[in-house]
């Protein structure tokens, strides 16, 4: 039994006002050569907005909030690190392994470190064909438990977006739009789906987040559409997604591997256009999160 790894203590290097960033987006959601430069871009976006980035992950079995570049390099060089959601975080801590945190576990660790704002690309949600295989991201349930505002460009559009929006409503998670009155669809700004409220002013949005997080012990979704210049046309996206969904590598990937397998194939089929758009929206979310955390101080 790996006695030396228990009990695990949170290593918290976060400096207020802090914005949590996640490692799964970097390690499992993008081509490996992009991870370190994107980490720099996300950090810069948070810092330019007046806040401090705190990258979250698991290093040698320690939950870390505010990972160093060397620690991130340990993860990217490791070849394969587990993708950690609510169900396997504890096992990584127990066995002393490295791990990349998803939205669910980044929220959990950020909350423990006292961080109230977190930026990602797109939260997980209800997968297509969920009536055949009920794959629903642990992210949605984590939002019911952890007191953190998650800045996201809607949910990833490999998912069933209307079902995901409905599930957020069912779980009672507030979904507010930043300069949008519809729930955005990751690579596209528009859907016909609603948000609970719209804020055009970051200071006002920050005041609402502080109010709502103090009022109730659960998370909030802040929906921030992809910048207009980085949007991917709907018909173009539909083609890549349909082609990707028919590939054996995607059809055979289940559970935690489903999302990374699909993302990798659409990134390849689009010759990197979806990678660029993914990075652009994540950086935009980091910038907004930085503004919000600074204003919530």
Please identify every residue annotated as catalytic.
22, 156
157 binds, among Mn ion, ligand PSU, none (CB under 5 to 8 A by kind): none
Shortest Å, Cβ 278 to ligand PSU: 5
**Class of residue 146 by CB neighbours under 10 A (exposed 0-12, middle 13-18, buried 19+):** buried
86 touches 9 (CB < 8 A): no
Which among ligand PSU, Mn ion, none contacts residue 115 (Cβ within 5 to 8 A by kind)? none
Q: Please say which residue, 143 or 206, places its beta carbon nearer to ligand PSU.
A: 143
If binding means CB under 5 A, how many residues of this protein chain bind Mn ion?
1
With CB under 6 A as the contact rule, the residue among 29, 57, 61, 63 that binds ligand PSU is 29
Question: Which residues are CB-neighbours of 163 under 8 A, at least 6 positions away?
Answer: 125, 126, 130
* Residue 24 binds which entry of ligand PSU, Mn ion, none, CB below 5-8 Å type-dependent: ligand PSU
- Give me 284's structure tokens: 């935009």
Stretch that binds ligand PSU, among 70-78, 131-139, 163-171, 203-211 (CB under 6 A): 131-139
157 binds ligand PSU, rule: CB under 6 A: no
Sole binder of Mn ion in the list 135, 139, 160, 230 (CB under 5 A): 135
CB of 66 to Mn ion, least distance (A): 27
**Separation of CA 16 from chain center:** 20
Q: How far apart are CA 58 and CA 67, in angstroms?
A: 9
**Closest separation in Å from C-beta 42 to ligand PSU:** 11
Q: Which of 184, 173, 142, 177 is nearest to 56 (CA)?
A: 142
CA–CA separation, 103 and 138 (whole Å):
8
| Minimum gap (Å) between residue 246 Cβ and Mn ion | 20
Ranges of H-type helices in the chain = 24-27, 35-48, 69-77, 89-95, 103-112, 138-142, 161-170, 202-215, 234-245, 248-251, 258-269, 273-296
Decide if 172 contacts 139 (C-beta within 8 A): no
Measured from the CB of residue 286, what is the shortest distance to ligand PSU in angstroms?
Answer: 11
Scanning 115-123, 161-169, 175-183, 265-273 for contacts with ligand PSU by CB under 6 A, the matching segment is 115-123
- Binding positions for Mn ion, 171-210, rule CB under 5 A: none
Q: Which residues make up the interface to ligand PSU (CB under 6 A)?
A: 22, 24-25, 28-29, 85, 102-103, 120-122, 124, 137-139, 256, 259, 263, 278, 282
């Amino acid at each position: 039994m790996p006695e030396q790894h228990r009990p695990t203590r949170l290593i918290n290097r976060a400096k207020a006002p802090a914005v949590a960033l996640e490692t799964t987006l970097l390690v499992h959601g993008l081509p490996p050569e992009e991870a370190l430069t994107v980490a720099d871009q996300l950090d810069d976006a948070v810092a330019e907005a007046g806040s401090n980035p705190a990258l979250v992950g698991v290093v040698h079995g320690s939950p870390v909030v505010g990972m160093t570049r060397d620690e991130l390099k340990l993860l990217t060089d490791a070849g394969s690190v587990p993708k950690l959601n609510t169900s396997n975080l504890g096992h990584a801590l127990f066995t002393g392994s490295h791990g990349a945190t998803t939205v669910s576990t980044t929220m959990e660790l950020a909350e423990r470190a006292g961080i109230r704002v977190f930026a990602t690309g797109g939260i997980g949600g209800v997968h297509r064909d969920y009536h055949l295989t009920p794959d629903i991201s642990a992210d949605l349930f984590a939002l019911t438990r952890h007191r953190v505002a998650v800045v996201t460009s809607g949910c990833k559009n490999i998912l069933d977006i209307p079902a995901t929006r409905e599930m957020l409503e069912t779980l009672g998670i507030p979904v507010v739009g930043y300069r949008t009155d519809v729930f955005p669809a990751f690579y596209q700004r528009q859907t016909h789906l609603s948000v609970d409220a719209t804020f055009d002013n970051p200071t006002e949005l920050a005041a609402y987040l502080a109010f709502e997080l103090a009022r109730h012990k659960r998370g909030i979704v802040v929906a921030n559409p992809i910048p207009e210049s980085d949007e991917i046309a709907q018909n173009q996206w539909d083609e890549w997604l349909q082609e990707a969904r028919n590939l054996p590598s995607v059809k055979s990937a289940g559970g935690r591997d489903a999302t990374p397998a699909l993302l990798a194939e659409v990134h390849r089929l689009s010759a990197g256009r979806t990678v660029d758009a993914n990075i652009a929206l994540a950086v935009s979310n980091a910038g907004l999160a930085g503004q919000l955390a600074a204003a919530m101080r």
